[in-house]
Structure 1
Amino acid sequence: MHENSAGPAAFWASVANDVTSRVEPVLTRDSKAREGVIEYLRDLEAVALRDGSSREALQVIASGRRLLGDRNDTPPAEIARAVRAALI
């Protein structure tokens, strides 16, 4: 993950652009080319869940993974826990 001097809220607000810029170039490539981006998105999702990022950021990350063919879903209970934590 890259550093964002504006802070965590600004970083999570920029996730849609980051995910789009990583997903679009590999959409038409083979699964081997997509694997690195899928791994990055999985890691980013784990950080988002741990840090209590916005629900929108989690949705964008999950959508990027699905577009690339990643069928490993984050358990719904883990997502629900993260969303509840973000609302508090």
Structure 2
Amino acid sequence: MQELFKFDVTEVAPLKRAVTDLVVSALGDAGRPKAELIAELRQLESRARAFGAEAHIVQVLVSGRRLLGDREDLPTPQVRGRG
């Protein structure tokens, strides 16, 4: 799968802009398959959660998935042991 996002998932503004543009484009084209974009957003969400991204970053990704019709929640990663 080709990676649609090529920037740090901790950068909120470009992430929000990219997710918004892609989701709006996908929603505007009824014939465009949404499964690949949903899969990419799920992967980014998993990566963001695993690296401890702030809640608003994860929320951008969750919102994008939900707008595309994905209702499945991703599991919250285990907290790594401290020291």
Common fold by TM > 0.5: yes
Output the amino acid matched with 2:57: A
Query: What TM-score do you get using the length of structure 2 for normalisation?
Result: 0.73
In structure 1, list runs of 5 or more residues that go unmatched: none
Alpha-carbon distance, 1:31 to partner: 7.4
Give the deviation of 1:3 after TM superposition. 4.0
Structure with the higher fraction of residues in helix conformation: 1
State how 1:47-58 maps to structure 2 within 5 Å.
47-58=47-58
Structure 2: distance between partners of 1:45 and 1:31: 25
The alpha carbon displacement at 1:30 in A equals 3.9
Distance 2:31 2:55 in 1: 28
- Identity score, percent: 33
Mapped to 2, the partners of 1:70 and 1:33 lie a distance apart of 13
Q: Which residue of 2 aligns with 1:40?
A: 40
Contact 1:38 1:65 in 2 (8 A): yes
Letter in 1 for 2:42: R
Q: Distance in 2 between matches of 1:39 and 1:14?
A: 19
- The residue correspondences of 1:1-88 to structure 2 (distance < 5 A) are 1-3=5-7, 9=10, 11-30=11-30, 33-75=33-75, 78=76
Dislocated runs of 4+, deviation >3 Å: 28-32
Query: What is the distance in 2 between the residues matched to 1:38 and 1:17?
Result: 16
What is the CA-CA distance between 1:74 and the residue it aligns to?
1.6
Aligned-partner Cα distance in 2 for 1:52–1:60: 15
Aligned partner of 2:25: which letter? P
